[in-house]
Amino acid sequence: MKKKILAALTAGILTTGLMTGGVFAADTEVKGDENLKGEVYAFIAASLSNSMEEIQKDFNELYPNVTIYYSADSSGTLQTQIEEGARCDLFFSAADKQMDALTEEKLTKEDTVVDLLENKVVLIKPKDGETKVTGFENITDAENMALAGEDVPVGQYSREIFNNLGIMDDVNEMEINECKNVTDVLAAVSEGSNEVGVVYATDAASVADKVEIIAEAPADSLQTPVLYPVGLIEDKEASEDDTKAAEAFLDYVESDAAIKVFEDYGFTAYKAEDSTDSEDSISK
């Protein structure tokens, strides 16, 4: 069952080791606990990497004895790893599809999943790069394009946009560099390997010195918002301390302090009353 955000959200804490590979109460202050110990394995969508690094540092100040190990990749890849038994306590997805699948498989903890953030899909080009493309509608004027795969949320959103604009067949005729996640799309465009690419607005903002936003996705080209759900995962290897640490980390990620960090990186706090039920999400 998915919780809905009805008011301002609250933020939290995280100590990280980077691996390769209800209703919320408003204005809740996270006090922290130096006595809380434990390890938390957090799987996060690649587009959250920069914001979560900052949140990690803030969390560590409040919970110095909690260690958060996180793995950043495409939500589809992370979903598969969880299904295959990889240790995970918290999953922060870039779409509802992956989280909903895990919930249906009873791999998420009941009543912990919430649509927390909203993002935008944008078309980018290299900084000062030359292109005839002025928007999604004439994207096929580009000689080539970097595009995330169909198993990646931003890739799914991209294809929904193309389908709703009636240009999917033409896009399929293009020279496409299919990337494993949004980070790779961003790299391909920022390095000048591809003329244009489709990413999230937050990713484009993170390298504003290397890429330019050509346009946002047209208003009616996506049926639902680009939502980021977060929730706890059933971890059979977790100790009692680990479980408490994971709960503390989730509370912090949902806190006002963390939401402020996310907003600094271009995300928007999602409020359920502002949109239709997210369970009708594109990625279902």
Query: In this structure, which amino acid lies at residue 103?
Result: T
CB 115 within 8 A of CB 228: yes
Long-range contacts of the stretch 203-211 (C-beta < 8 A, 24+): 203/47, 204/122, 204/124, 205/265, 205/266, 206/50, 206/265, 209/127, 210/126, 210/127, 211/124, 211/125, 211/126, 211/127, 211/186
How many Cα atoms occupy the beta-carbon half-sphere of 179 within 13 Å? 26
Distances (CA, A) of 228 to 22, 75, 90, 95, 114: 18, 10, 13, 5, 8
Helix (H, G, I), strand (E, B) or coil at 184: helix
What pTM was estimated for this model as a whole? Answer: 0.77
Q: Are 68 and 56 in contact (CB under 8 A)?
A: yes
Q: How far apart are the first and last CA of the chain?
A: 16
Pinpoint the alpha helices (H) of 27-95: 49-62, 75-83
Helix, strand or coil, per DSSP, at residue 181:
coil
**For the chain, which residues score pLDDT lower than 50?**
1, 3-27, 274-284
Nearest CA among 1, 100, 115, 116 for reference residue 51: 116
- How many whole angstroms separate alpha carbon 284 and alpha carbon 20? 28
Name the token pair of 219: 């208003």
Note the residue count of the chain. 284
Q: How many CA atoms lie within 13 A of 17 on its CB side?
A: 7
Report residue 257 as tokens.
Answer: 């302090």
pLDDT in tens, 57-71: 999 999 999 999 989
Rounded Cα distance between 7 and 203, Å, is: 26
Report the pLDDT value the prediction gives residue 219, as an integer from 0 to 100. 87
pLDDT value at residue 224: 85
The tens digit of pLDDT for each residue in 93-137 reads 999 999 999 999 999 998 999 999 999 999 999 999 999 999 999
Q: Residue 187: which residues within 8 A CB-CB, separation 6 or more?
A: none
For the chain, the C-alpha Rg in angstroms (whole number) is 19
Q: Domains, the chain, ranges and CATH?
A: 38-118+227-269 (3.40.190.10), 121-216 (3.40.190.10)
